[in-house]
Amino acid sequence: MSPGSREWSGSAVLEDSAVTLYFTATGIAGEARPSFLQRICAATATLAEGDEPFADWSGPREVVRTDGVHYRPADEADGVPGQIKAFRDPAPFRSADGSDYLLFTGSSAARPGSHDGVIGIARKLADGSFMPLAPLVEASGVNNELERPHIVHHDGLLYLFWSTQRGVFAPGIVAPTGLYGAIAETIAGPWRLLNSHGLVLSNPPERPTQAYSWWVLPDLTVASFVDYWKAESQVDSAAERRRRFGGTFAPFVTIELDGATARLAG
């Protein structure tokens, strides 16, 4: 049973005959009013034949915690979308030397503020837990949420991708909702922004919220989901937002990578 009142995004790893699901447990199970406490958890199942391929699920366990040095707690009782602090979106990564890591969306403990987003990383230990390391990317003073971070190996280089929204940039910074990225030779960096500014893909100006949560696959195909697909309305009621919400896969696209340059293929 999940320790949260709901689950936010994560990812899964298949290794031998076992699947490990990493996910964000949000809130507290049984709470009457949803809170925004975030914990990174994992659960494991074995693969089985038949109509139910997952068997013998383990109980979820918390595998990495905020350390108060690099990452501040994400434990707010109340929150507004785009303004809450972050400790979520776990994504595993295995380096060329066989070391296992977990990437995640975090908030800076070293430089806290209203816009203090970071891409966090933790190294896997022998007991299956993860030890937090210094962030790969820091955006204090620039952006509050660097979401769904993940790394792709390509042509001997590492490409780090994340999604962010226009409304979570600091005042005075005008940038679109989109897929952003950086490049490095090793996990230790230094990480350089792709295209010199980081932006890889964005929604068109006339449909600024049509897609979100981009994920680059090893073959450079990019998945995302349909967010608010119609043009924005002057009426921002819950009913109107529900009418405009997509909530399914968006069309897949493909990108091209050439060193520190990234572009839409075709």
The two most distant CA atoms of the chain are separated, in Å, by: 56
Sequence-separated contacts (24+) of 67-71 with Cβ below 8 Å? 67/109, 67/132, 68/109, 69/109, 69/110, 69/132, 70/106, 70/108, 70/109, 70/110, 70/118, 70/120, 70/132, 70/133, 70/134, 70/135, 71/106, 71/107, 71/108, 71/109, 71/118, 71/120, 71/132, 71/135
Q: What is the pLDDT of residue 51?
A: 85
73-118 per-position pLDDT tens digit: 999 999 888 999 999 999 999 999 999 999 999 999 999 999 999 9
With 80 as the cut, is the pLDDT of residue 232 above it?
no
pLDDT band of 161, cuts 50, 70, 90: very high
With 90 as the cut, is the pLDDT of residue 131 above it?
yes
| Entry pTM | 0.95
DSSP 151: E
Average confidence (pLDDT) over 238-264: 93
Strand 157-164 versus strand 147-154 pairing type = antiparallel
pLDDT band of 235, cuts 50, 70, 90: low
Given its phi and psi angles, is residue 64 left (phi above 0), alpha (psi -120 to 50 degrees) or beta?
beta
User: Could you give the CA distance from residue 98 to residue 172 in angstroms, rounded to a whole number?
Assistant: 42
In the chain, DSSP assigns E strands to 6-15, 18-26, 36-47, 54-55, 61-64, 75-76, 87-94, 100-107, 117-124, 130-138, 147-154, 157-164, 178-184, 192-193, 199-202, 211-216, 221-226, 253-258, 261-264
Give 257 or 231, the one with higher predicted confidence: 257
With 90 as the cut, is the pLDDT of residue 50 above it?
no
Q: What is the pLDDT of residue 65?
A: 96
3-28 per-position pLDDT tens digit: 999 999 999 999 889 999 999 999 99
Q: What is the pLDDT of residue 239?
A: 85
Side-chain half-sphere of 240: how many Cα atoms within 13 Å?
8
Mean pLDDT over all residues of the chain? Answer: 95
For the chain, the residue count is 266
With 70 as the cut, is the pLDDT of residue 145 above it?
yes
170-202 per-position pLDDT tens digit: 999 999 999 999 999 999 999 999 999 999 999
- Residue 175 tokens read as 């940038």
Give 226 or 243, the one with higher predicted confidence: 226
Average confidence (pLDDT) over 29-47: 95
